Structure 1
Amino acid sequence: MKIAFVGKGGSGKTTLSSLFVRYLAASGAPVVAVDADINQHLGVALGLDEFEAAAIPAMGERLPEIKEYLRGANPRISSAAAMVKTTPPGYGSRLLRIGGDDPIHERLTVEASGARLMVTGPFTDDDLGHSKTGAVELYLNHLVDEPGEYVVVDCTAGAESFASGMFTRFDLTFLVAEPTRKGVSVYRQWTDYAADYDVALKVIGNKVHGPEDVAFLREQVGDALLGCVGDSSAVRAMEQGRPFTLTDLADPDRRMLAAMREAVDARPKDWPKFTRQAIEFHLKNADAWANSATGEDLKAQIDPGFVLGPEAMTAALPAVR
């Protein structure tokens, strides 16, 4: 399952995404965590020190290699340079599995709290909307995940994901919101943007101090509110770099993590919709900028008979490596 954590800066989405990654990994589930935020803090939140986190190979710096590998023998893609962040896979493309022995997972992940962690790398002004998040979108577009397997993406704050369609790449999106007008304004922004794309969204209230805060969030977001978490001394210890395990969490916080996993596992896997949305946004990007940027008609990259999913693993290439 593909899961996104979104929210305004400072809402606590990195902290909650790291707790969810730890929770899934502690159950023995295969988990890939991806730090796609402008501020790269997920590695430290997962227990790495700052030097270890900074040394993780960055996806954005290896975008040409990622493209070349994923392109495989797909005859519809003329070159890796002609691939853009929305380029969908087709017959001949190399597809990915969580925990697979492919060079992307082998070379670009490190172990952190029982999960495999990948990072986009530090952002610059020139990166926004381009190589960094583009590497993540290509990864998600070529990833075949099965039930009981999870990829958790800590997304950049704001509306950057809407520039290409990455917001449709997830089975469930958790929006972390503080019980303030500014906090719920992010929820309205997301629902407005995603209204026409059947995006599953659940709100997690964070920094909640009492029933009044819960009532405020319920009034503002309705049934989208899955639950709330408050201040936690155990989480504060984790954020300060002190020893931490999930058993340090209070019972309500552990129940919240369990409810989040239950919500994720209840989502149906709709590979035709996932493929259809990828094509839709690729066509939009081709017309808007990608055709002129590459000098090619990128609509020709779409393979009309291809649907991503487990069956495509054997049809895409005889061997994945």
Structure 2
Amino acid sequence: MRVAFVGKGGSGKTTVSALFSRYVAGQGRPVVAVDADINQHLALVLGVDEEPEPLGGRLTEIKELLRGSNPLIPSAAAMVKTTPPGRGSRILRFADLPYTVATPEGPRLMATGPFSEDDLGVACYHSKVGAVELLLNHLVDGHDEYVVVDMTAGADSFASGLFTRFDVTFLVAEPTRQGVSVYRQYKDYAADHDVPVAVVGNKVHGPADVEFLHDQVGDDLLTWLEHSTAVRAMEQGRRFTLDDLEPANAEALSVLLKHVDAQEKDWERFGRQAAEFHLRNARAWANERTGRDLAEQIDPGFVYGQASLDCRPQAI
């Protein structure tokens, strides 16, 4: 299952996504956490000393890996961030996800990486996030496998088709007008693309905060995390494990996991939206950039989901 955490900058989405990743791993489930935010803080919150290999710096290698023997994709240069898989593409199982490092409490971590010196002033961060989009396009994950992505802040997530690559999207919102403003914007955009959004309140201090969130987001409020002295201590660099978390906040993480587990995989929607956003990008810029009609990369005979594993190239 693929889970996205989105929200306003400063809402605590990185912290909540890290806590959720730790909680899921603590239930004995395999988890890969992905830092796809321009501010790379997920490793810090997961207690990792070794930074993962930046995906953004391995984009050409990732393209070469994923194109496999797909005859519709003659080279890595012909691939863009939305290029969908087809027959002959290398389809990844969960265990195949590359460039991960271990974390102390179980989740493995991937990261897009920060801007390099060469990027400053000339590159868009979405070129790095494109590596995550490609990997998710080519991934077949099971119901008991979890990819948890800390997304870029605010509505900037909509600058690519990555926002459609998830089974569940959690929007983290503080109980303030600024905190719920991104919710309204995200909700409107997501509704046009069949992307349901559930709200997770954060930094809640009492019943008045909960009432405010209910008034602002209604039934989309799934649960909330109270202001946590344990989390604050973790953010200040002190030792932290999930056993230090307040019972109410641990229960909120349990609610999130139950919500994720209740979802059904919709591979048909996944494939339809992959083609839709690939065609959008092809027309907008990618055809001109590559000098090709990238609509021809869509393989109408390719079937998404477990069936695609039957015709994938041999694993490396």
SS in 1 for 2:147: strand
Are 2:161 and 1:169 equivalent residues in the alignment? no
- Measured in 1, the distance between the counterparts of 2:170 and 2:269 equals 20
Residue 118 (1) aligns with residue 110 (2) = yes
Contact 1:70 1:94 in 2 (8 A): yes
Question: Mean Cα displacement is larger for which, 252-261 or 193-202?
Answer: 193-202
Distance between the aligned counterparts of 1:96 and 1:127, measured in 2? 28
Counterpart for residue 300 of structure 1: 296
User: For the residues of structure 2 that align with 1:84 and 1:247, how far apart are their CA atoms?
Assistant: 43
Shift of 1:129: 4.7
SS at match of 2:154: coil
* TM-score normalised by the chain length of structure 1: 0.94
**2:190–2:196 CA contact under 8 A, matched in 1:** no
Instruction: Answer whether contact 1:129 1:160 (CA < 8 A) is retained.
Output: no
Post-superposition offset of 1:125:
4.8
Task: Work out the CA distance in 2 between the residues paired with 1:67 and 1:45.
Answer: 29
- Structure 2 Cα separation of the partners of residues 172 and 122 of structure 1: 26
Q: Which amino acid aligns with 1:114?
A: G
SS at match of 2:203: coil
1:253 pairs, out of 232, 249, 256, with: 249
Structure 2 counterpart of 1:320: 315
Q: Is the CA contact (8 Å cut-off) linking 1:33 and 1:115 kept in structure 2?
A: yes
Measured after TM superposition, the shift of residue 251 of structure 1 is 1.0
Map Cα deviations across residues 142-184 of structure 1 (whole Å, 9 max, x no partner): 1110011000000010223212211110000110001111111
Provide the secondary structure at the position in 1 that maps to 2:226: coil
For 2:39, the equivalent position in structure 1 comes to: 39
Q: Answer whether contact 1:59 1:120 (CA < 8 A) is retained.
A: yes
* 1:143-182 map, 5 Å: 143-182=139-178
Choose from 267, 273, 282 the match for 2:269: 273
Q: Name the residue aligned to 1:311.
A: 307
SS of the equivalent of 1:229 reads strand
Query: Which residue pairs with 1:12 in the alignment?
Result: 12
Give secondary structure in 2 for the equivalent of 1:91.
coil
| 1:23 maps onto 2:23 in alignment | yes
Take 1:78 and 1:129, find their aligned partners in 2: how far apart are those partners?
26
Name the stretch that deviates more: 115-124 or 270-279: 115-124
Query: How far apart are residue 236 of structure 1 and its match?
Result: 1.3
* Between 231-240 and 268-277, the greater mean CA deviation after superposition: 231-240
**Contact preservation (8 Å) 1:4, 1:155:** yes
Equivalent residues of 1:4, 1:172 under 8 A apart: yes
CA separation in 1, counterparts of 2:85 and 2:7?
29
- Aligned partners of 2:173 and 2:315: how far apart in 1? 40
Q: CA deviation at 1:198?
A: 1.0
Q: TM-score, normalised by structure 2?
A: 0.96
Asked whether the 8 Å contact 1:47–1:241 carries over to 2, the reply is: no
Instruction: Kindly provide the amino acid, as one letter, of the partner of residue 87 in structure 1.
Output: T
User: Deviations for 1:255-303, whole angstroms, at most 9, x for unmatched residues?
Assistant: 1000000000111101011010000000111011100010000000000
Report the aligned-residue RMSD: 1.2
* Candidates 203, 208, 222, aligned match of 1:212: 208
> Aligned with 1:207: secondary structure?
strand
User: Percent identity over the alignment?
Assistant: 64
